[in-house]
Structure 1
């Protein structure tokens, strides 16, 4: 059996230990700020509108269905839009074919080079023809030969008149024939010279025509460049019109803008909707918000410690969540001196639902 003094010492030690624990727990409690009755709300609730006016052709979801971003929800009648899409695609094919089969600038440049070469060749032919046309040597030679033949014939005739036996008749006829031949040769030379002059004129006209062809080919080159640019612009225009037609078809498709759950369907297949009219309401559940009111004395702590712990009482158990304070109102309620704030938290498991109440704890 312990002595009385030892028992008293143990009792005093036990009391001190208990009091120390209580005091320590009170200190922790004093350091923690707790708030109750925060309401869980959705961050995103979207009334998905109709993209185009018309009748609803199909509805692919029902209330309660989960939808991902971009999932098709409904379609409106898009028959006219699809016809316009086909027309735009055909126009795009035509524009591409014009680019492929049109006169290219390379072909036009080749034509310019060819006509320039032909013009140079024709210029040389013109010079040759002009040279021939200005050559009078042959005419002068035939005229000189004709004069010589005439002089010989005149001398022979004069000699025969003086002395009949001095030259025979056959010699006279030969000289006369030579003279007449020289006259014909002179006429032939003059005729050929006239032909050469006409040929020179023809070659000159042909050279001028080739120069005109060069100018024409240059103009065709410019036109080809302009046509090529226009075809390129038409091709770009056709592309844009095709994109516009494709977009028009897509605007008849109503898709979900967020990951969420369909909670309300405003219109059904066959109903008439106007552009911008709500068709389906989708809410995001994988990330939620808790809204509440804090005493003015706790506002500074909320701002200093954005990370908080959340406790949500569900039907099955208490759910713990880590949240972040994203908004503290700058307005103070003049009656109760409270400030509105909200916390966002992850809800990937979809356990917490909007409308639930939760409590918050933070350590400043």
Structure 2
């Protein structure tokens, strides 16, 4: 959990730079939040712990609250034990080995009877011979039945394993984790309170990346501003004017019929968390097009063109 704010500046460094004369000015620019999430409970129960408060900086995946889970933990132990028992039964081949041995014995008895009849036609009665043949067939069927029972035991083991995994997933939902990095701005539930599924527990806003939203003239938007470099300038109290560079991520296709303006968005980094949503700022968009990235086969194409010219 982040308890101290980082003061290093990331990719979009805060710098001081003049406004280019040919840049496109953006009117009524306001800093806004890009991501805000009310984190819900995924299981019903009483909150054991709430690990955050308003103002806490949380990381992605950090556990922010726990729902009572003793009963589910005991259920998971039982499911794992059932799976272990089922696996032992699936691996047990004693019945198959015994059935095979019984078949060998019964086949040997039948063969001795047949040999006796060959030497002495009346040595074994027909009734006894039929009984020996029936025993042999019975032992063959016992082998098949034992093999089928072992296959069923394997399937049962797979079922018990799946049940244990489902219980483990349900146990994991008793931990409420942060879905984004950001700051906790509201705690809806406290330790000891009951929550139902989908009840919000905390509200998190992402503040390390913001959106500057403003308006340009429709004729300026028509030149294609998407992905253009933009510069945001803001004067903070007791501080020099700060300048942050970003990129145009959205140009509204609709023109305001009253004033002819078009809404544009620029995403900027706020690595040191000095900028706050709601601030009025100055913004301008560069008239230079963003450089096109070369594809991997571009050098090969250039080499081919040189070769053809020569």
**Which of the residues 313, 324, 349 maps onto 2:235?**
313
Residue 163 (structure 2) aligns with: 241
Contact map agreement 1:302 1:325 (CA 8 A) in 2: no
Aligned match for 2:252, one of 313, 318, 329: 329
Pick aligned residue for 2:38 from 33, 44, 47: 47
How has the CA–CA distance of structure 1 residues 224 and 338 changed in structure 2, closer, same or farther, with 3 Å as cutoff? same
Offset of 1:232 from its aligned partner? 1.1
Listed one character per residue, the Cα deviations across residues 218-271 of structure 1 (whole Å, up to 9, x for unaligned) are: 211221221122111111110110011111111111111111111110110111
TM-score, length of structure 1 as denominator length:
0.68
User: What does residue range 21-32 of structure 1 map to in structure 2 within 5 Å?
Assistant: 29=21, 31-32=22-23
1:129 equivalent in alignment to 2:120: yes
SS of residue paired to 1:331: coil
Cα displacement string for residues 190-226 of structure 1 (whole angstroms, at most 9, x for unaligned residues) = xxxxxxxxx422xx54443332222112211221221
Are 2:276 and 1:353 aligned?
Answer: yes
What residue is the counterpart of 1:184 in the other structure?
none
Pair 1:354–1:106, CA change in 2 (3 A):
farther
Residues 304 and 99 of structure 1: CA distance in aligned 2, closer, same or farther (over 3 Å): closer
**CA gap 1:209/1:273 in 2 versus in 1, 3 angstroms:** same
3-state SS of the aligned residue for 1:258? coil
* Residues 221-232 of structure 1 aligned to structure 2 (within 5 Å): 221-232=143-154
State the shift of 1:36 in Å.
4.2
Distance in 1 separating the partners of 2:271 and 2:169? 33
Select the residue among 82, 93, 97 that pairs with 2:84.
93
TM-score (norm 2): 0.79
CA distance in 1, matches of 2:209, 2:55: 17
Matches within 5 A, 1:10-159: 29=21, 31-103=22-94, 105=96, 108-109=99-100, 111-130=102-121, 133=122
- Change beyond 3 A, Cα 1:67–1:125: farther
Q: How does 1:186-205 map to 2 (within 5 A)?
A: 199-201=123-125, 204-205=126-127
Aligned length: 267
- 1 CA distance for matches of 2:243 and 2:104? 85
Which has more radius of gyration? 1
Cα displacement string for residues 59-106 of structure 1 (whole angstroms, at most 9, x for unaligned residues): 111111111111111111222222221221121111111112344656
Where does structure 1 lack aligned partners over 5 or more consecutive residues?
Answer: 1-27, 134-198
For structure 2, list consecutive stretches of 5 or more residues without a partner in the other structure.
1-19, 288-310
Matched residues in 1 for 2:232 and 2:224: separation?
14
Distance in structure 2 (CA, Å) of the matches to 1:240 and 1:51: 20
Q: Hey, what's the Cα distance between the residues in 2 that align with 1:326 and 1:237?
A: 49
Give the whole-Å Cα distance in 1 for the aligned partners of 2:61 and 2:45: 21
Q: CA RMSD in A?
A: 2.2
Q: 1:255 to 1:117 in 2, by over 3 A?
A: same
Summarize the Cα distance change of 1:105–1:351 in structure 2 as closer, same or farther, 3 Å threshold: farther
Write the distance in 1 (CA, Å) between the matches of 2:95 and 2:233: 75
> 3-state SS of the aligned residue for 2:258?
coil
Cα distance in 1 for partners of 2:273, 2:193 equals: 33
Decide whether aligned partners of structure 1 residues 128 and 75 sit closer, same or farther in structure 2, where only a CA change above 3 A counts: same
